[in-house]
Chain A
Amino acid sequence: MRPQTSLLMCPPDFYGIEYEINPWMDLRRPADPERARAQWRALHGTLTETLGVRVELLTPVKGLPDLVFTANAGLVVPGRFIASRFLHPERQQEQPTYEAWFRARGFSIETLPEETCFEGEGDALWLGDTLFAGYRIRSDIRSHQAIAAMLGCEVLSLELVDPRFYHLDTCFCPLDDRRALYYPPAFDDYGRRVIREFVPEPIAVNDADALRFACNAVVVGRDIVVQSGCDALEKTLREHGFTPHPVDLSEFHKAGGSAKCLVVWIPSRDDRSVPSVLE
């Protein structure tokens, strides 16, 4: 049997707010470990039981509170793992753990030039054959050039301008080949023009939903796992024929992440959603 597309997640055993590297983090607003565990289990359950997604687990490591945010591990394409180069020293320590996991499963580990920063699927999302990539807050644009060369695909670089939306996956979410959610104020004018030009049906998310991490959703076919309480967005998704699956991930918002930040896709070669340029 050929391997199926799966997700990688990391249980939040050692998750907590131990430093401040984005505007959401505040050492005086610690995460509740019990609630965080329950919320993470609910997300895991929705993905595995309700939606039937295969989820692999990474063993948590003490002292690496953000290892739960596996989206930032790197960018995974069939058989290859392009490892992140984190901006902050706090998160650079996560890298060996991710690399070891992928190496042990036979992926070729590919590294970016030393002077670049790149934070994985947090800043790189596929829409069709095009990789949309965020830069300037965490990843830098030169990492995009390197990835375009490695994968032989088009990479559209979008500048992120609001520190609250510091990764592309906090303000942009491809739904299928034609549609993507996006929060316009998180981009500059050029970025908004690029989205309107290259996404046939862009769907703008309102302020209230965006600040609830509406764009940080996990898309499984027509099913969208999204933070609960994003009422306007849920209605819009239904109108477009999608089924929202709300989960509450408020404990992870304290670190600046929600559903999408907690998973990274491991696409298999036979997955129809894998960009054709990678085949």
Chain B
Amino acid sequence: MAMVSDTVELRGHIIDSLILPKVLDEIMTLGGTFEIVDLAVGHRREDPSRATIRVTASDADRLQAILSRIGQHGAVPVTGEDARLVPADLDGAFPDGFYCTTHFDTWMSREGRWIAVERPEMDCGIRFDPATGRAETIPMHKVRRGDLIVVGHAGVKVAPIDRSPERSVFEFMASSVSSEKPKAVVIREMAAHIKTARAAGGKVLVVAGPAVIHTGAGGHLERLIAAGYVQVLFAGNALAAHDIEQALYGTSLGMSLDAGMPVDEGHEHHLRAINTIRRVGGIKQAVEKGILRRGIMHACVVHGVDYVLAGSIRDDGPLPDVITDAVKAQDAMREKIRGVTVGIMIATTLHSIATGNILPASVKLICVDINPAVVTKLADRGSFQAMGLVTDVEPFLRALAEHLVPAMSHGVS
């Protein structure tokens, strides 16, 4: 395998404060090697020293991890070097050696100035627009021939990755994901953070799977939407279809949610529901015509919640609102996450992962699933601000709604 390397510089009182040995130790601990290219030691105590260090690792990911880590101790890619920009030679692909982004705040150097990279998102590239002087993340498929793309690590820096605001509670929860945690306490903390986020003007994003409907939790989510605690909803065809099935027929996948029994011809209900919506052109039209009068999707339309329904290979119908081109769906989601500061991921694996992939690290994630493996996977997706809870969806949403929208209250305006 080809080794990759980058040169960093460390300045200051790096010898007395043991910063130099610490950085060298960290490089080795993280599996890299180093070569001290240059070391200028200050003559008097107050004189700073300077070390130029070449860091080498087995692959770009490992090198990136090392550079992020030692960056916190002040080791920066050699100064004076601008980020290297290479024009894309093809539509839909980066030039070779492109800088691969993290979801942390990132800057690129241009003519000796640091430019913040807009819309931090992992697994993208960085495009610089010389006309506006702005830099932004760009997913591979959006690259157009001639776009200026950052190549290599030089001239790029990433913000310190942890020690974020309000870290303590989230850190406590992220320490491990266990079904043994006191759920009431955890849900209360979650509710408090949602309230704080809303008070600060942040948007709340909910990513939900159809289990929300199957378990009879749809009403709780509806209450949260009506009370102004949800601004964006990401889901698939299934959540919307079963929500509408329930609104029109009182069943979910043919099961009566009141009696818990299959009803006659119930297996057809969700198809009839989808067909009804297709006949009028969409969910919004069905609400406007008075066909759809309740449920989560109805609440979204009535309360102006932005929703993105992304399709999958096994969808029935699908509903006209469903975006069946996965790449277009990702782009639609990217548009809607602006301003989101809390993401709640409930009982869905793929949608949650897809969402986690496009959210910046500053967004706090709340991950709830009955399967501990799913919660761990989501909580561990590089975010330092994830709270996980292993529980059934219905009691979670019931308790959350009870905290945020007590039965006697009319919620926030």
Contact = CB atoms under 8 A, between A and B. Distances in A.
Contacts of A141: 12, 19, 72-74
Contact of A115 (B11, B107, B167): B107
A115 B156 CA distance: 13
B91 to A, nearest CB: 34
B404 to A, nearest CB: 15
Given A141-B72, A163-B163, A190-B21, A27 B13 contact: no
B46 A140 contact: no
Interface in A74-117: 87-88, 114-115
Contacts of A19: 196
Q: What's the interface size class on A, roughly?
A: 35 or more
A21 B72 contact: no
B114 A277 contact: no
Contact of A152 (B12, B22, B46, B168): B46
Interface string B7-36: 000011100111101100000000000000
Interface residues of B, number: 29
B198 to A, nearest CB: 13
A22 B168 contact: yes
Given A141-B72, A190-B22, A277 B17 contact: no
Interface in B152-189: 157, 160, 163, 165-169, 171
Contacts of A22: 168
B12 A155 contact: yes
A57 B276 CA distance: 71
Nearest to A156: B17
A153 B46 contact: yes
Interface string B64-97: 0000000011101000000000000000000000
A200 to B, nearest CB: 15
Contacts of A253: none
B111 to A, nearest CB: 15
Contacts of B39: none
A149 interface: yes
B93 to A, nearest CB: 31
A197 B46 CA distance: 16
B192 interface: yes
Contacts of A130: 45
B123 to A, nearest CB: 24
A21 B18 contact: no
A155 B169 CA distance: 33
Interface in B33-62: 45-46, 48
Nearest to B21: A190
Contacts of B192: 27-28
A163 B171 contact: yes
A21 B12 contact: no
Contact of B165 (A88, A129, A157): A88
Contact of B48 (A114, A149, A191): A149
B16 A156 contact: yes
Given A156-B13, A158-B17, A193-B18, A21 B73 contact: no
Nearest to A142: B74
Interface in A111-135: 114-115, 129-130
Nearest to B11: A145
B120 to A, nearest CB: 15
A13 interface: no
A20 B17 contact: no
Interface in A130-174: 130, 136-138, 140-142, 144-145, 148-149, 152-159, 163
B104 to A, nearest CB: 14
Given A20-B166, A136-B160, A148 B13 contact: yes
A172 to B, nearest CB: 13
Given A136-B163, A163-B168, 4 more contacts: A115-B157, A141-B72, A163-B171, A191-B18
27 contacts: A20-B166, A20-B168, A20-B196, A130-B45, A136-B160, A137-B163, A141-B19, A141-B72, A141-B73, A142-B76, A145-B48, A148-B13, A153-B46, A154-B16, A154-B46, A155-B12, A155-B13, A155-B17, A157-B12, A157-B19, A157-B74, A158-B17, A163-B167, A188-B22, A190-B18, A190-B21, A277-B46
